[in-house]
Amino acid sequence: MEKLIITAAICGAEVTKQHNPAIPYTLEEIASEAESAAKAGASVIHLHVREDDGTPTQSSNRFKAAFEAIKKRCPNIIIQPSTGGAVGMSNAERLQPVFLKPEMATLDCGTVNFGNDDIFVNSENTIIEFGKNMIELGVKPEIEVFDKGMIDTAIRLQNKGHIKSPMHFNFVMGVTGGIAATVRDLVFMQGSIPHGSTFTVSGIGRAQFQMAAATIVMGGHVRVGFEDNIYLAKGVLAKSNGELVAKAARIALELGREIASPEEARAILGLKAL
């Protein structure tokens, strides 16, 4: 079985210091959290950025500054900016970090009802627009899917040339409005992606480490971090993203999976070596 890629989603766009005081906002905090995750075994940093007061932003200048701050501490890490941004942002806002030509960026392949009046809108034309820009700029998309139908959408658009293959998927499981975080549904999702694809699983909230363990055994890759879960154990707030990554790494080693370095992750994902 190939080595395990651990992605750390270090801050997200929605969680705040009111949820957990360790959530990073400033560039210094973001770089410090990225370093804690990298030292614990993460090879990919899934990145949202904030203003210093915690307001989510997709500003290319803020992303550029965050890239530089992270790379100063973790020169080899893969940085994967989010094009999801925050609910309500325009396509032009969300796409900004792609024009910095990162190695990877996220590509959401469907609309999700996040609860109440929060609707995360990704029309087919949005997906095509984002995919086209990523192809032109040489950015590998991580295909974000919240349900099985989004896999079908990605495959259909890949067949039309809007997404390059082989595809790398992230199954976001347990979010309101999306597929449940169960082993049954994980098996269904894994069996639905094309041969030759790779996949990561993001278990939301209390499902983070349950889904991580199942994914490790099934040969997939794992995402942990404050964007998805702020607890190390029931009722115990994590003090850093590094603690969450370290727990995922311990589970993997107990189950016989070695942890991929950034260069090994690049090879698995088909990225160019640095």
Count of domains forming the chain: 1
Please report, for residues 10, 16, 40, 131, 244, the alpha-carbon distance to residue 22 in angstroms, rounded to integers and kept in the order given: 10, 9, 17, 34, 12
pLDDT digits (tens, 9 = 90+) for 66-105: 999 999 999 999 999 999 988 889 999 999 999 999 999 9
pLDDT, position 220: 98
pLDDT, position 74: 97
- Specify which residues 9 forms β-bridges with: 46
User: Does some domain include residue 48?
Assistant: yes
What is the torsional sign of CA 59, 39, 266, 169?
negative
User: Does some domain include residue 1?
Assistant: no
User: Does some domain include residue 258?
Assistant: yes
Instruction: Find, among 81, 112, 24, 39, the residue nearest to 261 by Cα.
Output: 39
3-class SS at 248?
helix
User: Does some domain include residue 274?
Assistant: no
Please report, for residues 146, 147, 207, 219, 271, the alpha-carbon distance to residue 185 in angstroms, rounded to integers and kept in the order given: 11, 9, 13, 15, 29
pLDDT, position 115: 86
Domain at 186, CATH number = 3.20.20.70
pLDDT digits (tens, 9 = 90+) for 131-172: 999 999 999 999 999 999 999 999 999 999 999 999 999 999
User: Does some domain include residue 18?
Assistant: yes
User: Does some domain include residue 131?
Assistant: yes
- Give phi and psi for 80, each to the nearest 5: -120, 95
Phi-psi category of residue 124: left, alpha or beta, with phi > 0 → left and psi -120 to 50 → alpha: alpha
pLDDT, position 272: 87
Instruction: Find, among 222, 100, 238, the residue nearest to 170 by Cα.
Output: 222
Could you give the CA distance from residue 44 to residue 60 in angstroms, rounded to a whole number? 20
Print the domain residue range for 164. 6-269
Rg (CA), the chain: 17
**Residue 226: CB atoms within 10 Å:** 25
Residues of the chain with pLDDT below 70 are none
